[in-house]
Amino acid sequence: MSHILFDERAKEVMKEMLEMNALVGAMQIVRMEIHDEQQYYICNIWSPLDQITNCDGQAFGGAVFFLLTTAGWSLLSTILSKHRVVLQQTSVEYRKQISGPFLLSKCVIEKDCEENSKISKINSDFIWGKVNVQSKGYSVNSIGDDVDESLIEAESVANIKYHIDTVPMDYVKNKHN
């Protein structure tokens, strides 16, 4: 996957999301990082909670769902940049209240796992398939804060299934213009 410039692709993904979905703007995503590390791929998205909370100061479940799903979609859209990534099914477990002031939505795909083998095959053979990922949500104090997942339990966990289509993204973009 080294042919992908992940920092540049993160900017492209954010622009594509803003063009395709007005909800992305409403979520006020202030930072997105997508990295190709030695042992895993990772997408971190930070969003302030002040605009997506209820009267008790807790994050709306729908906003959490959207941001967790967006982290998974963004990561897969980066790795599978020639494919169309479509949400198929999501289930979210809300474990604790997310009180912020920021929500960190984190999706990690380990390179030695079965799902990454599927991703590699989809990419190399240019075929369609289904990929399951997990995104987690954490309360953090500021933009750029990260968490040690071995020490902190996620406030919310989304198990997400995506359908990966062989329709090139260039075709999809041109069709909408």
CA dihedral 10→12→17→18, nearest 10 degrees, is 110
Residue 2 CB neighbour total at 10 angstroms: 6
Q: Over its length of 177 residues, how does the chain's per-residue pLDDT go in tens digits?
A: 344 455 676 667 767 766 666 666 667 778 888 989 999 999 999 989 888 888 877 888 888 998 999 999 999 988 998 888 998 999 999 999 888 799 999 999 999 999 999 999 998 888 899 999 999 999 999 998 999 887 888 899 999 999 998 865 555 555 555
Closest CA to 28 of 61, 70, 79, 75: 70
Distance of CA 51 to the CA centre of its chain: 20
Residues 6+ positions from 27 with CB-CB distance below 8 Å: 47, 52, 63, 66, 67, 70
Residue bearing tokens 């240019």: 126
Decide yes or no: CATH 3.90.1150.140 for domain 6-81+90-112+134-160: no
pLDDT digits (tens, 9 = 90+) for 141-172: 999 899 988 788 889 999 999 999 886 555 55
Write the single-letter amino acid at 56: D
Domain ranges across the chain: 6-81+90-112+134-160
Closest CA to 1 of 31, 33, 34: 34
